[in-house]
Amino acid sequence: MKIQAAVARPGAIVDVETCELSAPGPSEVQIRLEACGICHTDLLAMVGQLGTPLPAVLGHEGVGIVEALGDGATHLGIGDRVVMSFGACGRCRSCRGASPAYCDSALAMNFSGRRLDGSAPMTLGSSAISSHFFAQSSFASHTVAHVHNLVRLDPDLPAALMAPLACGVQTGMSSVLNVLQPGSSDRIAVFGCGTVGLAAVMAARIAGCREIVAVDLRRDRTDLAMALGATASIVSGNVDLGSALKKFGSLNGAIDCTGAIPVIEAAFHALAQQGQVICAGLSPAGRKLAIDPRELVFGGRRLRGTVEGDANPREFIPEMIEYFRAGLLPLEKIVQTYPLIEINQALADLSSSAVIKPVLVMPSGEN
């Protein structure tokens, strides 16, 4: 079938074009998109940092309606409304152990732009293009997605606010609630107040942390973090971060959403005994941390990374929806919507930090 899709090419050029979408294969469904969030991961793919071949249809925070079923897609029905999270095979040891973020096929399913058999669901002209990004490629009017990353949504939930639950918000919230697991007496810091960081702040508030320190280069971001539950903030642009952190005392935990080496090191050095830093931001390839291993041993401190906050979307997305319904996850304060045709403006606004979470709304209709 003919669809409209935003096709990214080298040089950060994105055009909405007519593509051909194949029928869903085994364990796949065809989906009519309502909305799709834009994430920094999409920006990284556009400039070649994730190895996704261009031209490509990106997008990995899709919400839409199931229109057709492939063989084996037995747990979904035509007309079901779903949010699409990251790709996972559903069969390997990690997937069977409820850790799909560490699927054996994660790199291939999420970054190659192809199915595991090497095929692609979309063609442009006579050529197949990368169009299975995160097992979905949702910068489009319609797509084909693997069933393992789909979670049902109720009809009353707003598509534009549910889309970020698929990746950005999920990563920040799960990094706190499922990885850091802070207690009510804990002091934590969140470094970087974009979508992931602000979600982490909201999660820390839900967890009841005693102190939540929000750190960002921009005062408007730290002001928003304060409105969302932070108890203190540091505008870090022109200050010595280590000295600024000392004013608050030692940290029981920290979430780094920046990937910046000096920030990670400062967070680690600010830890209390048995404190831990969770790295949720992606550093450029080849960077090295300067950390004395004795601080790990004698202080019982921990430093670890996380993909998607270690979340199992089928379990954690429904949990986030309950927080949203209870008023504990005010996603409307971070989301800005754009029609699909304005994707380049949305990408530019994300790159310049003019907006926190841009979400594309598809021509098929907004909820």
Kindly report, residue by residue over 243-267, the tens digit of the pLDDT: 999 999 999 999 999 999 999 999 9
Are both 200 and 258 inside the same structural domain?
Answer: yes
The whole-number pLDDT of residue 149 equals 84
pLDDT at 351 over 80: yes
The backbone region for 297, taken as left when phi is positive above 0, alpha when psi lies in -120 to 50, beta otherwise, is: alpha
The two tokens of residue 85 are 């999270």
In this prediction, residues 153-163 reach a mean pLDDT of 97
Q: Do 198 and 356 meet the contact criterion of CB atoms below 8 Å apart?
A: yes
pLDDT for residue 332: 97
Measure the CA–CA gap between 91 and 7, rounded to whole angstroms.
Answer: 31
Q: Under a CB-based contact definition with an 8 Å cutoff, are residues 211 and 226 in contact?
A: no
Tell me the per-residue pLDDT of 6-51, one tens digit each, with 9 for 90 and over: 999 988 789 999 999 999 999 999 999 999 999 999 999 999 999 9
Place of tokens 């309502």: 34
Counting beta carbons within 10 angstroms of the beta carbon of residue 78, is it exposed (0 to 12), middle (13 to 18) or buried (19 or more)? Answer: exposed
Are 340 and 4 spatial neighbours (Cβ–Cβ below 8 Å)?
Answer: yes
- Domain containing 301: what range? 169-309
Domain assignment present for residue 118? The answer is yes
Q: Position of tokens 């090295």?
A: 288
Q: What share of the chain is helix, strand, coil (3-state, %, to 5)?
A: 35, 25, 40
Residue 119 lies in a domain: yes
> How distant is the alpha carbon of residue 245 from its chain centre?
27
CB atoms within 10 A of CB 218: 14
DSSP-assigned states of every residue in 142-201: EEEEEGGGEEE--TTS-HHHHGGGGTHHHHHHHIIIIII---TT-EEEEE--SHHHHHHH
The answer on 271 and 351 residing in a single domain is no
Question: CATH number for the domain including 184?
Answer: 3.40.50.720
User: Do residue 8 and residue 146 come from a single domain?
Assistant: yes
Strands 28-37 and 357-361: antiparallel
Question: Are both 305 and 338 inside the same structural domain?
Answer: no
Are the C-beta atoms of 298 and 274 separated by less than 8 Å? no
Q: Are residues 177 and 292 in the same domain?
A: yes
Residue 53 DSSP symbol: P
For residue 3, what are its two tokens? 């669809």
Whole-number pLDDT of residue 300 = 95
Q: Hey, which residues does 208 pair with through a beta bridge?
A: none
112 and 179 co-located in one domain: no
Under the banding of pLDDT at 50, 70 and 90, the label for residue 364 is: low
Does residue 137 carry a pLDDT above 60?
A: yes
The helix (H) or strand (E) run that includes residue 56 is: strand 56-57
Last residue of a domain, one of 309, 325, 346: 309
* Structural domain count, the chain: 2
